[in-house]
Amino acid sequence: MKLTFIFLMLFFSINLYAFTLNNSFEAKFEEDEVVVNVADNTCENIGYTNQDILDMLDDALNDYWNSVPTSSLRLKKGNLVRVDDAFHDESLCLDNPITASCQSINPNLKVSKNILIACNGNTTFFTNPGILGTTIISSYSVSKNRIYGALFLVNDIVGSAVKNQERADMVAYLAHEIGHAIGLGHSPVKDSLMYYSTVERRKSLGYDDIDGVTYLYPIEQPFACGSLSFNSQEKNKNGNSEILSLALGVLAILIVGKLKLSLKQPIGPK
């Protein structure tokens, strides 16, 4: 019975995903390479300049999302880009502050391509200095499940808690918000970068983060050569079943044989 249980565990696994998406239609960027730019407007109250944020992107991208070998997504550090003053001065939502549901997005803050990080000092939108920032998918297509552009606003009001962030924590914060920009929501798993609370900033991705970005941006598997006959669908079906059964049978014999052998070995020092 124990051997059977071990055998079944070796061949069957259930993928339990805890990650969430920040939209209902599984949107993602169409291209594998996405550029992250920083707005050139002034950051007044966070203790970091626009150039500081741009410089930290090297670590925020490469130490986190670009380190996942099972994901095709590659985030690229962009440049300081000129933007309208509206990105710093105006509210992202025309109807509500960040604490409520944003029903009407300010068209003056629309990002049509890639990801843009900008400091925002609008006190109608950022009503609480303890909120570090927010990210929204700015341009998208529901029918095509596509993200075209995303906007990440850093809270730049007086007393912003961003000013209290050490560099390593700031890097993790940037990586967290960029996770939202590429389509991920919050994770309930505490050791994840995308965990909803800021408790202790993560210095690396958790398994849930890796599962999430791999789900949205999987690596395409190359075609492989084989020697199976495709003379008919029925023959192919039966042939595959026979090959699979034979393979599983051989592996089962090898595994059970090794387990029996190991059970006969004395436990302890020889």
Predicted confidence band of residue 11 (pLDDT cuts 50, 70, 90): very low
| Whether 68 and 194 share a structural domain | yes
Which token pair is 231?
């003379």
- Which pTM was predicted? 0.76
| Mean pLDDT across 99-125 | 89
pLDDT value at residue 24: 82
Let me know if 27 is exposed, middle or buried by CB neighbors in 10 A (0-12, 13-18, 19+): buried
Percent of the chain scored above 90 by pLDDT?
A: 61
| Whether 269 and 151 share a structural domain | no
* Mean pLDDT for the chain overall: 80
| Whether 55 and 157 share a structural domain | yes
| Whether 83 and 125 share a structural domain | yes
| Whether 234 and 100 share a structural domain | no
Q: Does residue 97 carry a pLDDT above 80?
A: no
pLDDT value at residue 95: 72
pLDDT value at residue 94: 82
| Whether 49 and 105 share a structural domain | yes
| Whether 191 and 234 share a structural domain | no
Q: How far is CA 76 from the centre of its chain?
A: 15
CATH number at residue 145: 3.40.390.10
| Whether 115 and 181 share a structural domain | yes
Predicted confidence band of residue 266 (pLDDT cuts 50, 70, 90): very low
**Domain containing 122: what range?**
28-216
| Whether 196 and 237 share a structural domain | no
User: Which of 71-75, 144-148, 198-202, 255-259 has the weakest average pLDDT?
Assistant: 255-259
CB 209, CB 194: distance < 8 Å: yes
| Whether 36 and 146 share a structural domain | yes
| Whether 81 and 212 share a structural domain | yes
| Mean pLDDT across 219-232 | 47
At 134-146, the pLDDT tens digits run 999 999 999 999 9
Residue 17 lies in a domain: no
Q: Does residue 46 carry a pLDDT above 80?
A: yes
Nearest to 120 by CA among 138, 107, 130, 132: 132
- Kindly give, in sequence order, each residue whose CB lies less than 8 Å from that of residue 213, ignoring residues fewer than 6 positions away: 65, 68, 71, 73, 179, 182, 184
Q: Does residue 91 carry a pLDDT above 70?
A: yes
At 178-196, the pLDDT tens digits run 999 999 999 998 889 999 8
| Whether 253 and 192 share a structural domain | no
pLDDT value at residue 25: 86
